[in-house]
Each structure stands twice: as structure tokens, then as C-alpha cells.
């Protein structure tokens, strides 16, 4: 197993409900370290660029409108197998299918407004981290 870094986003439904600290506690309890973090407001165009892999999906407009609707907290998580570990802590995309104790089971409002984003593979983690952070901002 290797130490990895992954990109996490606390989405607008969660920042609106003041859940940043409760979600961060889930990461830290799982052994993930928050090595970079900032609260930002995305434009719809920036949200579209970040989620461009989903551009042809029927939910793309809803997703990008939602992601630009209120501030998000973008963060880099570091730890052993951080990419897979974060996906475990997040739970399934649809909160109705998420395991008990996961962030989405506890906090998500719907399949779209599901509180967190997490990278899904090493290559996307690298791309997504550099979308939001410069090397100088990553202090492991």
C-alpha cells in the first residue's frame, strides 16, 4: 500500500447546512489527513470544466448549476490508499444505497445533492488536485 493524495469537495448542500466540520471529522477518523483546504465559489463554467467528463449526461446542467449555487470547500486528503479510502468514507453516489455511517448515508439529500465529491483513480486525482491547487499549497 502506498501513501496517496485525492481531491475532495464538500458540496453546496453541505456547506449550506454548516456540515464542513462534521464531514472533516469523518475523514480524520478514517486516517485521512487534510493537507490543503479552501472555501471557494465556483462559476457555472468552472463547474462545467471540472465535471466535463459528464458533459453528455442528462444531469450535467443540474449538476453544474448546483455546484455553482453556493460555496464549496475543496481539499486534498492524504493517506494510505487515500483514493479508495475516501470513496469508502463517502459512500455510494445515491445516498439510498450508501452504507450506514458513510458521509452520504448520514448527510446527503439526494443523488445529485450528495454532499461530497472524491476522485475515482490516481490519474483523475492528479488532474483534479491541480485544477484547484498549486504545488506550493500542498503541505503534507
Residues of this chain that bind ligand ADP (CB under 6 A): 54, 59, 62-63, 93, 111-112, 114, 117, 120
Residue whose CB is less far from ligand ADP, 34 or 51:
51
To the nearest whole angstrom, how small is the minimum distance from the Cβ of residue 62 to ligand ADP? 6
To the nearest whole angstrom, how small is the minimum distance from the Cβ of residue 117 to ligand ADP? 5
Residue whose CB is less far from ligand ADP, 122 or 137:
122
User: Under the phi-then-psi rule, with left for phi > 0, alpha for psi from -120 to 50, and beta for the rest, what region is 61?
Assistant: alpha
For every residue of 40-73, DSSP letters joined together read: E---HHHHHHHTGGGTTSTTHHHHHHHHTSS-EE
Element (H, E) at 97: none
Q: What is the DSSP letter of 22?
A: H
Q: What's the rounded Cα separation, in Å, for the pair 19 and 59?
A: 24
117 is catalytic: yes
Residue whose CB is less far from ligand ADP, 9 or 36:
9
Q: Which of 89, 117, 118, 133 is catalytic?
A: 117
Q: Which residues are catalytic?
A: 117
Amino acid at each position: 500500500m502506498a501513501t496517496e493524495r485525492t481531491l475532495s469537495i464538500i458540496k453546496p448542500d453541505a456547506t449550506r447546512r454548516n456540515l464542513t466540520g462534521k464531514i472533516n471529522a469523518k475523514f480524520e477518523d478514517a486516517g485521512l489527513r487534510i493537507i490543503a483546504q479552501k472555501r471557494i465559489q465556483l462559476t457555472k463554467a468552472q463547474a462545467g470544466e471540472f465535471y466535463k467528463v459528464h458533459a453528455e449526461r442528462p444531469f450535467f446542467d443540474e449538476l453544474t448549476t448546483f455546484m455553482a449555487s453556493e460555496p464549496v470547500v475543496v481539499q486534498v486528503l492524504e493517506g494510505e490508499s487515500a483514493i479508495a479510502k475516501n470513496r469508502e468514507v463517502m459512500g455510494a453516489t445515491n445516498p439510498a444505497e450508501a452504507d450506514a455511517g458513510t458521509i452520504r448515508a448520514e448527510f446527503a439529500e439526494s443523488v445529485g445533492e450528495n454532499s461530497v465529491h472524491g476522485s475515482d483513480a490516481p490519474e483523475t486525482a492528479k488532474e483534479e488536485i491541480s485544477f484547484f491547487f498549486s504545488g506550493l499549497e500542498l503541505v503534507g
